[in-house]
Structure 1
Amino acid sequence: MHTLKIAASIAVLLVLIITAGIYTNHALLSSSKKLEAHIIKIEEASKSEKWASAKEQLDMANALWDNTEGAWSVLIDHIEIDNIKELFVRTEKYIETQNQSMTLAETAALKQCISNIPKKENFNIKNIF
């Protein structure tokens, strides 16, 4: 009987861990997709040299990042968060100076950094070992 309780407890813990991993991955993927959508709009606006629109999209992305950052800080390495913050700051400065090539370079780096987070934190065997 005692062995059955231990096995049931282990099974429940395993289910909780797997469920938490799936939820975490879904939350990271969902928020990264929202951020990427704004970054794509920033790229499009800067390609068209619509700097006011690019700044507006950046402000929306920053607001979304402010809401996302708290949850992500619990789930991912803080170095990644610092990198994203730095990319946002540099992107803002390049938009202010209307430097198209550097804005596009920074948005590409920002998009890459954000899209890699769910991949790196994905709950799978490759990431466990």
Structure 2
Amino acid sequence: MRVLVFTFVLFILLVGFGFYTVVYLSETSSEMVDLLDKIDRAVNKGNWTVAEGYLKALDESWNKNKAYWSILINHDEIDNIELSINHIREYIGVKNTPESRAEIAGLRLFLEHIPENERLSLENIL
């Protein structure tokens, strides 16, 4: 009987941790996507100083979350996000609007894809 109770409690803890993980990834990626939207609007208007300020905020947010994300998701995705942030930084530095906007769109896709990929669904299981 104790083994059954222990197994049930362990199962509930694992499922709870799984849901917490998805919520955490969704919230933090949503925050970063909001910053990306602000960067995109600033780049579109040619307001490079504002874009650099939002990029700095995005970089700080990423550095704060990266340690936890690296525990939860594939390291290739971490590398893709870091590479994309570096590309955006360089494109904004040289004031290249088309390349900046394209890289922002790619990073947005990465950030929105990760919580969907970690969510418990039949598609992710199969």
TM range (shorter): over 0.9
Greater Rg, structure 1 or structure 2? 1
Runs of 4 or more consecutive aligned structure 1 residues displaced over 2 Å after TM superposition = 123-129
Choose which of 66, 83, 87 in structure 2 pairs with 1:86: 83
How many percent of aligned residue pairs carry the same amino acid? 29
For 1:112 and 1:127, locate their aligned partners in 2 and report how far apart those are by CA, in whole Å. Answer: 18
1:98 and 2:95 matched? yes
> What is the CA-CA distance between 1:5 and the residue it aligns to?
1.7
Deviates more, 1:4-13 or 1:56-65: 4-13
Q: TM-score, normalised by structure 1?
A: 0.94
The CA RMSD over aligned residues, in Å, is 1.0
Structure 1: how far apart are the matches of 2:120 and 2:65? 20
Structure 1: distance between partners of 2:105 and 2:14: 34
Q: Is 1:18 paired with 2:15?
A: yes
Structure 2 residue ranges without an equivalent (≥5): none
Q: Secondary structure at the match of 1:87?
A: helix
Question: Pick from 54, 58, 74: which aligns with 1:57?
Answer: 54
What's the TM-score, normalizing by structure 2?
A: 0.96
Gaps of 5+ in 1: none
For 1:15 and 1:47, the matched residues in 2 are separated by 47
Q: How does 1:1-129 map to 2 (within 5 A)?
A: 4-129=1-126
